[in-house]
Protein backbone atom coordinates (compact mmCIF):
# COMPACT_ATOMS: atom_id res chain seq x y z
CA UNK A 1 0.00 0.00 0.00
CA UNK A 2 3.01 2.27 -0.27
CA UNK A 3 2.54 5.33 -2.43
CA UNK A 4 2.53 8.94 -1.34
CA UNK A 5 4.24 10.56 1.60
CA UNK A 6 1.53 9.31 3.95
CA UNK A 7 2.62 5.73 3.29
CA UNK A 8 -0.78 4.72 1.94
CA UNK A 9 -2.25 4.46 -1.53
CA UNK A 10 -5.66 2.90 -1.04
CA UNK A 11 -8.34 1.50 -3.29
CA UNK A 12 -11.69 1.90 -1.53
CA UNK A 13 -15.09 0.42 -2.42
CA UNK A 14 -18.38 1.92 -1.14
CA UNK A 15 -21.36 -0.48 -1.19
CA UNK A 16 -24.71 1.24 -0.57
CA UNK A 17 -28.05 1.40 -2.39
CA UNK A 18 -28.49 5.17 -1.90
CA UNK A 19 -26.99 7.60 -4.42
CA UNK A 20 -26.59 10.36 -1.82
CA UNK A 21 -24.49 8.07 0.38
CA UNK A 22 -22.34 7.13 -2.65
CA UNK A 23 -21.81 10.77 -3.48
CA UNK A 24 -21.00 11.76 0.09
CA UNK A 25 -18.54 8.99 0.88
CA UNK A 26 -16.81 9.17 -2.51
CA UNK A 27 -16.49 12.96 -2.35
CA UNK A 28 -15.04 12.70 1.15
CA UNK A 29 -12.59 9.89 0.38
CA UNK A 30 -11.47 11.10 -3.05
CA UNK A 31 -10.21 14.25 -1.33
CA UNK A 32 -7.77 12.25 0.80
CA UNK A 33 -4.23 12.20 -0.63
CA UNK A 34 -3.81 8.58 0.45
CA UNK A 35 -6.85 7.32 -1.52
CA UNK A 36 -5.77 6.19 -4.99
CA UNK A 37 -9.26 5.25 -6.22
CA UNK A 38 -12.77 5.15 -4.71
CA UNK A 39 -15.35 2.99 -6.50
CA UNK A 40 -19.03 2.36 -5.70
CA UNK A 41 -21.53 -0.48 -5.99
CA UNK A 42 -25.28 -0.48 -5.33
CA UNK A 43 -26.07 -4.14 -4.73
CA UNK A 44 -24.32 -7.40 -3.78
CA UNK A 45 -23.80 -8.49 -7.40
CA UNK A 46 -22.10 -5.19 -8.33
CA UNK A 47 -20.09 -5.28 -5.09
CA UNK A 48 -18.70 -8.78 -5.65
CA UNK A 49 -17.79 -8.01 -9.27
CA UNK A 50 -16.05 -4.78 -8.19
CA UNK A 51 -14.21 -6.56 -5.38
CA UNK A 52 -12.85 -9.18 -7.78
CA UNK A 53 -11.85 -6.53 -10.31
CA UNK A 54 -10.36 -3.90 -7.97
CA UNK A 55 -9.19 -5.97 -4.96
CA UNK A 56 -9.89 -2.93 -2.72
CA UNK A 57 -7.91 -2.41 0.46
CA UNK A 58 -11.04 -1.22 2.31
CA UNK A 59 -14.74 -1.76 1.55
CA UNK A 60 -17.49 0.21 3.30
CA UNK A 61 -20.57 -2.04 3.21
CA UNK A 62 -24.08 -0.89 4.18
CA UNK A 63 -25.60 -3.09 6.88
CA UNK A 64 -28.97 -3.09 5.04
CA UNK A 65 -28.90 -3.48 1.24
CA UNK A 66 -32.62 -3.66 0.52
CA UNK A 67 -33.59 -7.22 1.45
CA UNK A 68 -29.93 -8.28 1.59
CA UNK A 69 -27.70 -8.40 4.68
CA UNK A 70 -24.45 -6.46 4.63
CA UNK A 71 -23.00 -8.96 7.10
CA UNK A 72 -23.69 -11.85 4.71
CA UNK A 73 -22.24 -9.88 1.80
CA UNK A 74 -19.10 -9.25 3.87
CA UNK A 75 -18.45 -13.00 4.07
CA UNK A 76 -18.81 -13.40 0.30
CA UNK A 77 -16.74 -10.31 -0.42
CA UNK A 78 -13.91 -11.57 1.81
CA UNK A 79 -14.00 -14.90 -0.03
CA UNK A 80 -13.57 -13.11 -3.38
CA UNK A 81 -10.99 -10.58 -2.12
CA UNK A 82 -9.36 -11.98 1.05
CA UNK A 83 -7.11 -8.96 1.68
CA UNK A 84 -10.00 -6.49 1.66
CA UNK A 85 -10.82 -5.13 5.11
CA UNK A 86 -14.51 -4.32 5.62
CA UNK A 87 -16.18 -1.49 7.54
CA UNK A 88 -19.92 -2.01 7.99
CA UNK A 89 -21.92 1.23 7.67
CA UNK A 90 -25.46 2.03 8.81
CA UNK A 91 -27.79 4.86 9.62
CA UNK A 92 -29.99 2.63 11.82
CA UNK A 93 -28.61 1.72 15.24
CA UNK A 94 -25.30 -0.08 15.70
CA UNK A 95 -23.85 -3.50 15.07
CA UNK A 96 -22.05 -5.29 17.88
CA UNK A 97 -18.36 -6.14 17.68
CA UNK A 98 -19.26 -9.84 17.86
CA UNK A 99 -21.66 -9.71 14.90
CA UNK A 100 -19.24 -7.63 12.83
CA UNK A 101 -16.17 -9.75 13.47
CA UNK A 102 -18.12 -13.00 12.96
CA UNK A 103 -18.97 -11.73 9.47
CA UNK A 104 -15.33 -10.87 8.83
CA UNK A 105 -15.66 -7.09 9.24
CA UNK A 106 -13.00 -4.98 10.95
CA UNK A 107 -15.32 -2.30 12.27
CA UNK A 108 -18.46 -0.22 12.08
CA UNK A 109 -19.12 3.31 10.82
CA UNK A 110 -22.35 5.19 11.49
CA UNK A 111 -23.71 7.52 8.79
CA UNK A 112 -24.24 9.98 11.65
CA UNK A 113 -20.50 10.26 12.34
CA UNK A 114 -18.65 13.39 11.34
CA UNK A 115 -16.35 13.38 8.30
CA UNK A 116 -13.11 13.33 10.39
CA UNK A 117 -14.29 10.20 12.26
CA UNK A 118 -15.13 8.39 9.00
CA UNK A 119 -11.79 9.29 7.42
CA UNK A 120 -9.93 8.18 10.54
CA UNK A 121 -11.84 4.88 10.60
CA UNK A 122 -10.91 4.06 6.99
CA UNK A 123 -7.23 4.80 7.65
CA UNK A 124 -7.17 2.78 10.88
CA UNK A 125 -8.80 -0.26 9.27
CA UNK A 126 -6.42 -0.04 6.30
CA UNK A 127 -3.53 -0.14 8.77
CA UNK A 128 -4.84 -3.34 10.35
CA UNK A 129 -6.77 -1.94 13.31
CA UNK A 130 -10.43 -2.39 14.33
CA UNK A 131 -12.90 0.50 14.70
CA UNK A 132 -16.13 0.28 16.68
CA UNK A 133 -16.86 3.87 17.67
CA UNK A 134 -15.39 7.39 17.58
CA UNK A 135 -15.19 7.47 21.39
CA UNK A 136 -18.81 7.27 22.29
CA UNK A 137 -21.62 4.76 22.03
CA UNK A 138 -24.72 5.69 20.08
CA UNK A 139 -27.73 5.75 22.42
CA UNK A 140 -30.14 2.84 22.18
CA UNK A 141 -33.53 4.04 20.85
CA UNK A 142 -36.08 4.27 23.66
CA UNK A 143 -39.22 2.29 22.86
CA UNK A 144 -42.28 2.31 25.08
CA UNK A 145 -43.42 -0.93 26.69
CA UNK A 146 -46.27 -1.23 24.19
CA UNK A 147 -43.92 -0.54 21.27
CA UNK A 148 -41.64 -3.34 22.47
CA UNK A 149 -44.63 -5.68 22.60
CA UNK A 150 -45.61 -4.74 19.05
CA UNK A 151 -41.99 -5.16 17.91
CA UNK A 152 -41.84 -8.64 19.45
CA UNK A 153 -45.02 -9.60 17.59
CA UNK A 154 -43.60 -8.18 14.34
CA UNK A 155 -40.50 -10.34 14.85
CA UNK A 156 -42.74 -13.40 15.20
CA UNK A 157 -44.17 -12.69 11.74
CA UNK A 158 -47.64 -11.62 12.91
CA UNK A 159 -49.70 -9.34 10.68
CA UNK A 160 -51.07 -6.02 11.98
CA UNK A 161 -54.50 -7.61 12.33
CA UNK A 162 -53.07 -10.53 14.32
CA UNK A 163 -51.07 -8.15 16.52
CA UNK A 164 -54.23 -6.13 17.18
CA UNK A 165 -56.09 -9.27 18.26
CA UNK A 166 -53.27 -10.55 20.48
CA UNK A 167 -52.67 -7.22 22.24
CA UNK A 168 -56.32 -6.13 22.33
CA UNK A 169 -55.63 -3.04 20.22
CA UNK A 170 -57.29 -1.54 17.16
CA UNK A 171 -55.50 -2.09 13.80
CA UNK A 172 -55.11 1.70 13.56
CA UNK A 173 -53.31 1.83 16.93
CA UNK A 174 -51.00 -1.01 15.85
CA UNK A 175 -50.19 0.92 12.67
CA UNK A 176 -49.35 4.02 14.74
CA UNK A 177 -47.06 2.01 17.04
CA UNK A 178 -45.37 0.42 14.01
CA UNK A 179 -44.74 3.82 12.40
CA UNK A 180 -43.26 5.08 15.66
CA UNK A 181 -40.97 2.03 15.90
CA UNK A 182 -39.73 2.57 12.33
CA UNK A 183 -39.05 6.24 13.06
CA UNK A 184 -37.14 5.56 16.30
CA UNK A 185 -35.04 2.80 14.74
CA UNK A 186 -34.45 4.74 11.52
CA UNK A 187 -35.71 1.90 9.31
CA UNK A 188 -38.12 1.55 6.38
CA UNK A 189 -39.91 -1.78 6.83
CA UNK A 190 -40.56 -4.78 9.07
CA UNK A 191 -37.49 -6.75 8.03
CA UNK A 192 -35.16 -3.82 8.73
CA UNK A 193 -36.88 -3.15 12.06
CA UNK A 194 -36.34 -6.73 13.23
CA UNK A 195 -32.70 -6.83 12.08
CA UNK A 196 -31.92 -3.47 13.66
CA UNK A 197 -33.64 -4.39 16.95
CA UNK A 198 -31.74 -7.69 17.13
CA UNK A 199 -28.42 -6.02 16.49
CA UNK A 200 -28.85 -3.45 19.27
CA UNK A 201 -30.37 -5.94 21.72
CA UNK A 202 -33.99 -4.73 21.83
CA UNK A 203 -35.20 -8.23 21.03
CA UNK A 204 -33.58 -11.65 21.16
- Residue 136 has a pLDDT of 45
- Residue 94 has a pLDDT of 65
What confidence category does residue 2 fall into, taking pLDDT thresholds of 50, 70 and 90? very low
CATH number of the structural domain spanning residue 53: 3.40.50.2300
- Residue 5 has a pLDDT of 34
104 inside domain: yes
> Mean per-residue pLDDT for 141-165?
91
Higher pLDDT, 11 or 195: 11
CA distance 161 to 141: 25
> Mean per-residue pLDDT for 184-195?
89
CA distance 48 to 55: 10
136 inside domain: no
- Residue 200 has a pLDDT of 73
3 inside domain: no
- What's the total number of domains in the chain? 2
Strand-pairing partners, residue 64, are 69
pLDDT digits (tens, 9 = 90+) for 33-68: 999 999 999 999 999 999 999 999 999 999 887 677
Same domain, 159 and 64: no
Same domain, 117 and 158: no
What confidence category does residue 137 fall into, taking pLDDT thresholds of 50, 70 and 90? very low
- Residue 83 has a pLDDT of 93
pLDDT digits (tens, 9 = 90+) for 8-33: 789 999 999 888 888 889 899 999 99
Does residue 4 carry a pLDDT above 50?
no
Q: How far is CA 3 from CA 11, 50, 124, 126, in A?
A: 12, 22, 17, 14
- Residue 93 has a pLDDT of 59
- Residue 133 has a pLDDT of 65
Q: Is the dihedral of CA 19, 24, 27, 28 positive or negative?
A: negative
> Mean per-residue pLDDT for 153-182?
95
Same domain, 81 and 41: yes
Look up the domain containing 72 and give its range. 10-126
Amino acid sequence: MAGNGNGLSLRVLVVDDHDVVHWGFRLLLDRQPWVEHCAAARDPEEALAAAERLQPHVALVDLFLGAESGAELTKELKARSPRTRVLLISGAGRVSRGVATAAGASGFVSKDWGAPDVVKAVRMVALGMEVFGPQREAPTPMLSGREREVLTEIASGATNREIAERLYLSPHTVKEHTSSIYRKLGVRNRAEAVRSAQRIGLIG
